[in-house]
A and B are shown apart, each in its own frame.
Chain A
Amino acid sequence: MPDDHFDDPSIPDHERLFRRIHLVHVAEGSEGRSALSSAAFRDKELSVNLESVMRQAGKPPDYALRNHPHDFLAGITAGVCRANGQRVGPDPLPDEPAHGYVFGDKPKRIRRALRDAASWIVPAQAPSWEEVLLRKRELGIAGEEDGGGLDPSGS
Chain B
Amino acid sequence: MAAYTETLPWTSSLIRPAYDLGESDTTAFTDPDVVRLNADASTQPPWLEPVRRAITALVRLPQNWDGYGAAPLDEQLVQDALRMLLGLMEYDTPAPSVVPLGDGGIQFEWHRHGKNLEIEFPAGGSPSFYYYEDDSDRESEGLVEGDYDELRAYISHLR
Give me the interface of A with B, judged by CB distance under 8 Å.
Answer: 20, 22, 24-25, 27-30, 35, 37-39, 42-43, 47, 67-68, 71, 108-109, 112, 140-147, 151-155
Q: Is B11 an interface residue (CB 8 A)?
A: no
Give me the interface of B with A, judged by CB distance under 8 Å.
Answer: 30, 50, 53-58, 60-62, 64-68, 97-102, 107, 109, 111-114, 118, 120, 128, 130, 132, 139, 141
Asked whether, in the complex, the Cβ of B99 is within 8 Å of the Cβ of A152, the reply is: no
Asked whether, in the complex, the Cβ of B57 is within 8 Å of the Cβ of A142, the reply is: yes
Q: Which of B65, B97, B107 contacts A28 (CB 8 A)?
A: B97
A-B residue pairs in contact (CB < 8 Å), sample of 12: A20-B67, A22-B66, A29-B111, A35-B109, A37-B97, A47-B68, A68-B67, A108-B130, A109-B141, A142-B57, A143-B56, A153-B66
Minimum CB–CB distance from A72 to chain B (whole Å) comes to 12
Roughly how many angstroms separate A146 CA and B64 CA in the complex, as a whole number? 22
Asked whether, in the complex, the Cβ of B61 is within 8 Å of the Cβ of A153, the reply is: yes
Q: Which of B66, B107, B128, B132 contacts A20 (CB 8 A)?
A: B66
Asked whether, in the complex, the Cβ of B99 is within 8 Å of the Cβ of A27, the reply is: yes
Q: Which of A22, A29, A39, A152 contacts B107 (CB 8 A)?
A: A39
Roughly how many angstroms separate A22 CA and B64 CA in the complex, as a whole number? 11
Contact A143:B68 (CB < 8 A) given known A27-B109, A109-B139, A152-B57? no
Q: Is the interface of A mostly helix, strand, loop or mixed?
A: loop
Asked whether, in the complex, the Cβ of B62 is within 8 Å of the Cβ of A153, the reply is: yes
Contact A140:B102 (CB < 8 A) given known A109-B139, A146-B30? no
Q: Is the interface of B mostly helix, strand, loop or mixed?
A: mixed
Asked whether, in the complex, the Cβ of A153 is within 8 Å of the Cβ of B64, the reply is: yes
Roughly how many angstroms separate A54 CA and B128 CA in the complex, as a whole number? 38
Asked whether, in the complex, the Cβ of B53 is within 8 Å of the Cβ of A24, the reply is: no
Question: Which B residues are in CB contact (< 8 Å) with A47?
Answer: 68
Roughly how many angstroms separate A35 CA and B100 CA in the complex, as a whole number? 15
Question: Which B residues are in CB contact (< 8 Å) with A152?
Answer: 57, 60-62, 65
Question: Which B residues are in CB contact (< 8 Å) with A153?
Answer: 61-62, 64-67
3 tightest Cβ-Cβ pairs between the two chains A and B:
A143-B54, A27-B97, A108-B130
Minimum CB–CB distance from B136 to chain A (whole Å) comes to 14
Roughly how many angstroms separate A144 CA and B98 CA in the complex, as a whole number? 12
